Every structure is written in structure tokens, then in C-alpha cells.
Amino acid sequence: MTEELLYDIRDGIGHVTFNRPQARNALTFPMYERLAEIAAAPGEVRALILTGAGDKAFAAGTDINQFRAFRTGEDALAYEARIDRVVGSIERCPVPTIAAVAGACTGGGAAIAAACDLRIAAADARFGFPIARTLGNCLSMANLARLSALIGPARVIEMIFTARLFSATEALSAGLVTEVLADRPALEGRALELARLVAGHAPLTMRVTKEALRRMRDSLPPDEDLIRLAYTSQDFREGMDAFLTKRQPNWTGR
């Protein structure tokens, strides 16, 4: 079976590739765990580039089949704790991280991109969390805080409430990405250029800056009641079934 998350090191730069193009690089739990391992111990590299295989997506969130066994609030809490741990590992990665985004960057994929130090996009990139239209679940407060720090609470509300995907141009205007490139080859070239640039700078300056900014942001109360409410609802079961059977969900608010 083809490895679903690839990692290779070339000339001192680590390259992480989400490798399920047939599923728009939707992430399975083993993929999340492998990503956390790499972020915690990337090896002898000075920068990491994250990208998606194929021409459709960076990563289209968590594979919905991972949710099928969910039955209780504890399942939901364990899932969000896993995502927070994995995404947090990217923030704490000891080297600079660069998300090179082409195509769909949604759900868990958008959370991963938001946790990277630098985000650049191809012109066809689309960003968002369409959960109000699809599954009816929620984001953890850690993910909401991270997004709010990047683009502000009003933009986060717009993104989640409208369930629409921001274009690359909108993402640039909002501050979610710093550059938009014409196409995937240009994106790949610029990502490598950026990686080589930061690889030549003082590692401790970048590491301390990352950690200081994270500590300034992360003063959060618990959100377990909110996660339980969303993931144990009838609407979440309805959203998951509707997604997998390719029909419109019938929301009831219960």
C-alpha cells in the first residue's frame, strides 16, 4: 500500500507530503500521528515544507470515516485532544514550518496550515471550515484562538457561519497567507526558496519568537462542555450520514 504521509529530507530541508490524492488528502488518524512524530523530531533539518499530493488539495480535513465509531462525549473529547496535540506539535516544531497550499485546505488541513509559521498559496487555493454546512461539529477553543490570532474573530465568524471557502486572494487580504503564486510549480519553487532563506537564519531567534507568541496567545478556559454538545448531538450523526451518503443534512438543533 502506498504510504499516506511521506517524509523525505533533501539538502537539509524536510518535505512532508499528504499522500491521499484520491481522497483529497483527507487525514486518517495514523497520518495525524505520523505528522506529530515528524514535527516533534524532524531530524537534521533547518526547515519543514508541508504540501499535498495531486492537483486537488493540500488536505481536506479529517477522513469522515474516522468518526463512524463515535458514540459518546468522551470520543469527541479524545478526538479534539488528539487534534490539539498534533496541531500543537507543529507550533512547537523546533524548526520553521512552511505550508505550501494548493487546492482545498479545509477542516483539519486548514488547522494544520494555520499552525505553520509561514503560509503561501497557489492561486487555486481555497481555505475554510465548512462544518456548519457538512458535519455540524465544532472547533476546539485552541484552534479558534489560533485562527483569531491570525485573521481576527470577525473573519473566523464569517468563515464558520457562512461555511464558504476563502479564495487565495481573500486569504491574502485576511492575513491567512503571506503570498499567492500563479500555479503549483511557482508555489513549490517559492516554498523551497523560503525554506532555504529561513534555514540560513539564527535558529534560536526563530524558536524563541515562536514560543513567545504561542505563550502570549494561549490563556484559554476549558471547552469540554462545548465539544460534548456538538459531537454527541443528533445533528452530528445526521451530518456525518448525509456527508457519506452525499445528500443534504436535515438539521434540527438537537
Structural domain harbouring 190: 5-199
Domain tally, the chain: 1
Q: Considering the entire predicted model, what is its pTM?
A: 0.92
Q: How far apart are CA 175 and CA 6, in angstroms?
A: 29
What number is the average pLDDT over the span 56-67?
Answer: 93
In the structure, what pLDDT confidence band is assigned to residue 173 with cuts at 50, 70 and 90?
Answer: very high
CATH of the domain at 133: 3.90.226.10
- Give the β-pairing of 97-101 and 57-60: unpaired
The pLDDT value recorded for residue 1 is 42
Residue 215 lies in a domain: no
What's the pLDDT at 2? 63
Q: What is the pLDDT of residues 194-208, one digit of tens each?
A: 999 999 999 999 999
Q: Specify if 108 maps to a domain.
A: yes
Share of the chain above pLDDT 70, in %: 99
Domain contains 235: no
Q: d(Cα 138, Cα 107) in Å, to the nearest integer?
A: 10
pLDDT tens track for 79-114: 999 999 999 999 999 999 999 999 999 999 999 999
In a domain, residue 210? The reply is no
pLDDT at residue 66, rounded to an integer? 87
